[in-house]
Amino acid sequence: MTVTTPPEPARTPLTVSGAHGDAPREPDGAYLDHAATTPMSAAALAAFVAEAQRTGNASSLHSAGRTSRRAVEEARETLAHALGARPSEVIFTSGGTEADNLAIKGIFWGRRAQDTRRSRVLVSAVEHHAVLDPAFWLAGHAGAEIVLLPVDGDGVLDLDALRAELAAHGDETALISVMWANNEVGSIQPVREVVRAARPYGIPVHTDAVQAVGQTAVDFSDSGVDAMTVSAHKLGGPVGVGALLAKRDLALDAVLHGGGQERGVRSGTLDTASIAAFGVAARHAVDCQPQRAARLTALRDDLVVRVREVDPEAVLRGADPASGRRLPGNAHFTFPGAEGDSLLYLLDSAGVQASTGSACQAGVPQPSHVLLAMGVPEAEARGALRFTLGATSTEADVDRLVAALPQVVARARAAGLVSGRALGGAS
């Protein structure tokens, strides 16, 4: 028995109904992939539509341009206020990937220009590819030496290893990048301790907070980091807009060159509609965060208990939910003897949408680098499935998952046996 990719779902024609403030709908069935993207809030959509109906380049000097500029600056203030930053520290980008690229390349070039000995780039082994790939690009093209910082079995950074690395090579290090929270297993990283360790050596610290904002408390200034990445579509805003928060005294070289927008480090006409919606979404996500975290924690804990009931062999990966060091909406399992891709497609057929890990890698049948860095054997890592909850998640979503799971896991295991792959047992 094999499990093949299901045919493309039929596309229902787009209809526009009601006022533009109608809440966007999430996909039908149980949508358990909010870490990949989460529905826009009604208020963010309304702000988007209102600005998209206007014409004006925020860099133009006439009144249409100034109107657009006002919307951008209001959003900049709102975003900064929501994240504990100053408006002048916000650099708008096209999303998390661009902000991560700007941080890794821009800080490397900026710090090395100040001190040519600094060629080491320290990144945790569980970073998103939006951080790892620019770092390895620098190694291939700009003489950087990449150091992958190890994590423990929960996916949490090994601070002793970081301190030992800094004691040996702190003066040669250009930057450290450690994410606020992991996108696959949801583990929250000790970012403040990283800053404390880096400070004596004059090393700038970047954190990718794409998955953290709206799920856990995030404060740029209080964290002490020099730069932080955020993305709108993970917190109720539109796809295609994000920001790098960067301290004013951080040496940051441009990656995109052109019209000199955004402090000269990120050229390109600003996307006023998306930026306005981003500001509204961020404000809402941060205001709602404490109540939402409490609700999602209870829902996630219930999901974990019930998944273990229907499949006692399932192994929860990442930090213990009771530790407080895990994102409230994240539950990540490996199912011994089953392929993650098979589980995903079979669940999808049953109306449950989940992920094998990072959506950005979907379709690539590789075991997750995050699980491998945590010490999970490759065969077990292949059976990974991530369930992530968000603002619109309900108990009915969990019910639907739990109802579908026994048959799905049985079929995926049978497919694994037939395909002859040596799939690992429970650890």
Ligand X SMILES: Cc1ncc(COP(=O)(O)O)c(C=O)c1O
Return the closest-CA partner of residue 383 out of 351, 349, 346: 346
Question: Does 95 sit near ligand X (CB under 6 A)?
Answer: yes
358 touches ligand X (CB under 6 A)? yes
Helix, strand, coil percentages (3-state) for the chain, rounded to 5, are 45, 15, 40
In the complex, least distance from residue 26 CB atom to ligand X, rounded to whole angstroms: 17
- Cβ pair 278, 48 in contact under 8 A: no
The 168-197 site mask, x for binding ligand X (CB under 6 A), equals: -----------x---x--------------
DSSP secondary structure, 312-355, as one string: TT-EE-SS-GGGT-B-TTEEEEE-TTS-HHHHHHHHHHTTEE-B
- 360, 362, 372, 403: which one binds ligand X (CB under 6 A): 360
Q: Mind telling me the catalytic residues?
A: 360
Q: Considering only residues 76, 128, 300, 386, which one is a binding residue for ligand X as defined by CB under 6 A? A: 128
Distance of CA 137 to the CA centre of its chain: 20
For position 274 contacting ligand X by CB under 6 A, the verdict is no
- Is residue 242 a contact residue for ligand X (CB under 6 A)? yes
CB of 177 to ligand X, least distance (A): 11
What phi-psi label fits residue 322: left (phi over 0), alpha (psi between -120 and 50 degrees) or beta?
Answer: alpha
| Cβ count within 10 A of residue 67 | 16
Axis-axis angle for helices 340-349, 395-419 (nearest 10): 130
Interaction of residue 105 with ligand X, rule CB under 6 A:
no
| Window of 80-88, 95-103, 151-159, 305-313 that interacts with ligand X by CB under 6 A | 95-103
Q: How far is the CB of 231 from ligand X (least distance, A)?
A: 3
Contact between 96 and ligand X (CB under 6 A)? yes
Using the minimum distance from each CB to ligand X, give the nearer residue, 154 or 313: 154
Stretch that binds ligand X, among 42-50, 136-144, 205-213, 265-273 (CB under 6 A): 205-213
For residue 357, the SS3 value is coil
Neighbours of 61 (CB within 10 A): 9
Q: Does 340 bind ligand X (CB under 6 A)?
A: no
Residue from 42, 64, 359, 362 in contact with ligand X (CB under 6 A)? 359
Cβ-contact 252, 101 below 8 angstroms: no
Q: Which of 211, 274, 334, 368 binds ligand X (CB under 6 A)?
A: 211
Using CB under 6 A as the criterion, which residues of the chain lie in contact with ligand X when the complex forms? 95-97, 100, 128, 130, 179, 183, 208, 210-211, 231, 233, 242, 358-360
